[in-house]
Amino acid sequence: MKVLLVYNLYNPKKPKISGYDMKLRGSFESAFENNPEHSYEVLYFGFEPGFIKDAKTLNEEILKKDFDICVVAEELKFYIFLETAKKLGKKLFLNIWDIWVAIAPNDDVNFRIASKQPRTWGEHVNPHSILELSQYCNLLICGYGIDEILPNIYGMLNTVDTRFYFPKSINQDIDVCHNGTLYIPERFKYAEILQRSGINVQYYGNNPNIVKNSKYLNDDEYAEIYRRSKISLCFTQSIFGPNHKQKIGRIAEIASCGGFMLMTNPEIFYFKGKKLFEEGVHFDSIDEKNCVDKIRYYLENDEKRKAMSKAFYNRWMETHSPKVYWEKIFEWSKQ
């Protein structure tokens, strides 16, 4: 299978720091690096020297390439034209990292609203709606749904590069960690509650553009924090407010490292009677009233915590390991 990956590098000046786009490449490599039947090529767009600089050139360059499947992570003003989607059909997958709609407290309502509208949010400019594009090509939605949502529209968590994100038996010298920038109200709120209660939380991976005297972590460092931590916190509210919950990022990273996750808003794992992960089996949830007690409970109950971590990892490998992730895409391209 020949795959063309098209995306914008998260941080081109620091190639060891990868965003979700770069994990498309890393996950493909980790799934098929010793398999000669699968190969890939990458097209970069963006404003760095040598990158594709506009949507017109992006579409022209894609149509010149020879591939079985093309996965495009659209961003900013770099989008796929409707005519390109019509020409490529089921060979084309558009990776939608998030729907960015938080009008209603119900994810189903937000998705229906987002799917019908041109995707023009802030610097992101795409004149075609998800439903319009789905008449011709496939769309991968990372922030909503499980497997098929509607014809040609599929819900998936992001996957990761398992050459970096994997479980390892090491000394867990961190009781509680949070990987990621403290810039969302929910995160601040829980940080205050836990600080007042004397819970020692280690915060890592802050964006230096937001938090002074901090630094980006590369994938090795980031994954090692999860392996060293007894409890990894996952706050799912986004910058768009309490109606918008995030599924990309920490969930896959914690699971693939064999970590134990305490998270807010566990309902994001449930979709039309399906459960991606099960509360009390693969992870546990917290709210403002019980977070302190639950952290103390799991710090005192090593065996239960470790059993849930193992179950979380196994479930993630069954549903979202790099090989499973890409084999689902291969299968959907044939339907």
- CATH code of the domain covering residue 311: 3.40.50.2000
79, 217: one domain: no
Distance between CA atoms of residues 15 and 13, nearest Å: 6
Give the pLDDT band (50/70/90) at residue 14.
low
Q: Angle CA(274)–CA(25)–CA(239) in degrees, nearest 5? A: 60
- Say if residue 193 is in the same domain as residue 265: yes
**Better-scored residue on pLDDT, 26 or 14:** 26
Element spanning 41, H or E: strand 39-44
Interval 255-272: pLDDT, tens: 999 999 999 999 999 998
Closest by CA to 165, choosing from 221, 123, 119, is: 221
Answer yes or no: is 331 within a domain. Answer: no
In a domain, 325, yes or no: no
Percentage of residues in the chain having pLDDT higher than 90? 67
pLDDT interval class at 121 (50, 70, 90): confident
pLDDT for the residue numbered 47: 85
Domain end marker among 156, 190, 218:
156
Q: Which residue has the higher pLDDT, 222 or 138?
A: 138
C-alpha separations of 19 from 25, 84, 315 in Å: 11, 26, 24
Is there a single domain that holds both residue 147 and residue 214? Answer: no
Domain co-membership, 189 together with 149: no
pLDDT at residue 284 in the model: 98
> Domain for residue 235, yes or no?
yes
Confidence band for 136, pLDDT divided at 50, 70 and 90: very high
**Model confidence pLDDT, tens digit, residues 190-215:** 999 999 999 999 988 766 555 555 56
Query: Is the pLDDT reported for residue 158 higher than 80?
Result: yes
Range of the domain at 246: 174-318
Domain limit, last residue, from 156, 183, 204: 156
Specify whether 85 is located in the same domain as 193: no
Residues 234 and 301 in one domain: yes
pTM of the entire predicted model = 0.91
Residues 248, 148, single domain; the answer is no
| Residue 326, domain member (yes or no) | no
Q: Of 14-18, 28-32, 126-130, 302-306, where does mean pLDDT reach its minimum?
A: 14-18
**Residue 231 sits in the same domain as residue 146:** no
Predicted confidence band at 20 (pLDDT cuts at 50, 70, 90)? low
**pLDDT higher than threshold 90 for residue 107:** no
Boundary of a domain, candidates 156, 188, 215: 156
DSSP 269: G
- Evaluate whether residue 324 is within a structural domain: no
What amino acid is encoded at 13 in this protein? K
Mean pLDDT of the chain: 90
Q: Domain total for the chain?
A: 2
Helix (H, G, I), strand (E, B) or coil at 323: helix
Whether 43 shows a pLDDT value over 70: the answer reads yes
Q: Say whether both 203 and 282 belong to one domain.
A: yes
Residue 322 near residue 166, CB atoms below 8 Å: no
Strands 69-72 and 2-7: parallel
